[in-house]
Structure 1
Amino acid sequence: MAEKSVFISKTEYPFFEEVHVNIEWFGGFALSQKRKCQIGLHQNFLAVFPGEKILEISSTSLVSLGAKLSAMNLSKRTQRGITSVESAFQASRIYSDGTHTVGPFPEYLFLNGKECKKLVKQASDGMHSHQYVFDDMVFYAPMHHISQFYDFLYLNALLEPENQEVRNQLLQGKYTAFTDLATKSLNCQARSAAIFVGLVKAGLIDEVRNYDSYLKLFRTQLNGKAVGPESYERVQFLYKTTKVKLFTPVIPCNFCKTDVENYYLVHCSKLTNKKEPDNYLDLRCG
């Protein structure tokens, strides 16, 4: 049994809510196993939230849009040129162990996201990421919005011309809830996508384009501190741990392994275990 996150878009601050769902885990590295985990997560979530429309954002998504929305694939403009959201994020990180500091890593900015992440992880082994520098802007990781810098990159990337097609698909698809089974990180593309949709619905998305208005939107001072008690309103990151304090109970696992296997047999029989450009339900199954 595993407990996984679903991020639901909201039109009020902080523009998302995290829900946890218990699922039966399918082990192994095969693409089909990862997709079966996705099916179990989504079906158990929808049993409690039937009015939501859910999308996995990762290369293993059952829908091609989910792969396009991956931070590894989304382009991001910088002062030095265009890279990926993932590479912009990793290259901007500053780490510390209390004595020594490393980063940022501008020399890795234009590597592919996977390679950039690997090299930054090696250089920062055992250290804690606490600050980010991007295009002369400084970001922190405040307790009321730990993923603030990652979200800034992701939200702005979706507003840039290079990603207009995928942005339109996201909004026209009317998705309201998002998952990313590939990560346990507090910086999560599924959360960022949920925030994006919430801000669009609230009519506030243009506020993220500017550094100052973005910080104000998420109730943060320039020094990374909370504006005041209102910064913690409806916020689930309340403590200095990776454990999230939830507003709702964990959703139980009622759609079990047998149900998932049957669903996969009926709906996903045309899919393969190869990572091919058309190996998605919307492209292969018609």
Structure 2
Amino acid sequence: MVLGEKHGTNYLPCTFALSQKRKCQIGLHQNFLMEYPKEKILEISSSSLVSLGAKLSAMHLSKRTLKGITTVESVFQSSRIYSDGIKRIGPFPEYRFLPGRECKKLVKEAAKEMHSYQYELDGLTFYAPVHHISQFYDSLYLNALLEPENEEVKNKLLQENYTAFTDLATRSLNCQARSAAIFVGLVRAGLIDEVRDYFSYLKLFRTQENGKTIGSESYEHVQLLYKDRVKLFSPVIPRRFHKAEVEDYYAERCDVLTNCKETDNYLDLRCK
């Protein structure tokens, strides 16, 4: 998707970008709810139609470190270690307290054509095991929701009783929607305190300190194992809510929204 159009020497954001993302969100959610009408679904990204979804974004969610508070996204990106088989670079603590998008951009530029395989944060080392490739990201996200800075958003997430989550903005192997789903599942199972400690977290997901599995039943069913293919563990949802219906839905319910990422530009805030 083209996100901007050239105007002189500057690039102006296209006026349709945010609305188009939200229409995709509507289409996916309505099709899902037609198949699973008893579920309650939330998009977790800055493009969410609901303010809670934006607050739960890794770009906005606060995360404590030994040297101060930043965001989940900035901690994740600045903790990466890359290799090309010969050279190793990272982590990048000098970028840790930059905004998430800026931190991500600088890390990616420094690590062009290299492979991210390990993470280091506050004296702890995490790997990216194939059986749970988002293990470090999930740990950051789960622990962030247990920290006092995010008490309000955590309580609302649990009180609203959401049962399904999406993140249409990601092409990454790490997904904030999946991390939120894991959090809710662990809370309901009475196991959420296990993620606070490094060793109990690894044990909970049946992983050794070296990233290898414990036994033959390690955490699995992570659908995005490889960028070039997706392995499905459940049937594809049939498409019964079509484009015209999405347009009608958006026109009827979202006409109060603008195409800019503003602090009040969410349905639950504009419709009050």
Distance 1:132 1:143 in 2: 15
Tell me which of 259, 265, 270 is aligned to 1:273.
259
Q: CA RMSD in A?
A: 1.6
CA contact (8 A) 1:143 1:240 kept: no
Distance 2:70 2:227 in 1: 31
The one-letter amino acid paired with 1:255 is F
Which residue number corresponds to residue 182 of structure 1?
169
Using a 3 Å threshold, how does the CA distance of structure 1 residues 220 and 194 change in structure 2: closer, same or farther? same
**In the alignment, is residue 192 of structure 1 matched against residue 175 of structure 2?**
no
Distance 2:225 2:53 in 1: 31
Identify which of structures 1 and 2 has the higher relative contact order when contacts are C-alpha pairs closer than 8 Å and 6+ apart: 1
CA contact (8 A) 2:41 2:164 kept: yes
Alpha-carbon deviation of 1:204? 0.4
Distance 1:257 1:227 in 2: 46
Distance 1:260 1:37 in 2: 8
Identity of aligned residues (%): 73
Which residue number corresponds to residue 259 of structure 1?
245
Q: Deviations over 1:41-63 (max 9, x none)?
A: 10111111112111011111000
Alpha-carbon deviation of 1:282? 0.5
Distance 1:78 1:195 in 2: 22
**In the alignment, is residue 246 of structure 1 matched against residue 232 of structure 2?**
yes
Which residue number corresponds to residue 41 of structure 2?
54
Aligned partner of residue 283 in structure 1, secondary structure: helix
Which residue number corresponds to residue 113 of structure 1?
100
The one-letter amino acid paired with 1:181 is L
CA contact (8 A) 1:79 1:135 kept: yes
Alpha-carbon deviation of 1:29? 4.8
Q: Deviations over 1:84-143 (max 9, x none)?
A: 100000000001111111100011111111110000000001111100001111000111
Question: How many residues are treated as equivalent by the alignment?
Answer: 259
Runs of 4+ deviating beyond 3 Å: 236-242
Which runs of no fewer than 5 residues in structure 2 stay unpaired? 1-13
CA contact (8 A) 1:236 1:244 kept: no
The one-letter amino acid paired with 1:281 is L
Q: Deviations over 1:212-261 (max 9, x none)?
A: 000001010010001021115x5245965653322212112211110100
Which residue number corresponds to residue 9 of structure 2?
none
Aligned partner of residue 125 in structure 2, secondary structure: strand
Which runs of no fewer than 5 residues in structure 1 stay unpaired? 1-26
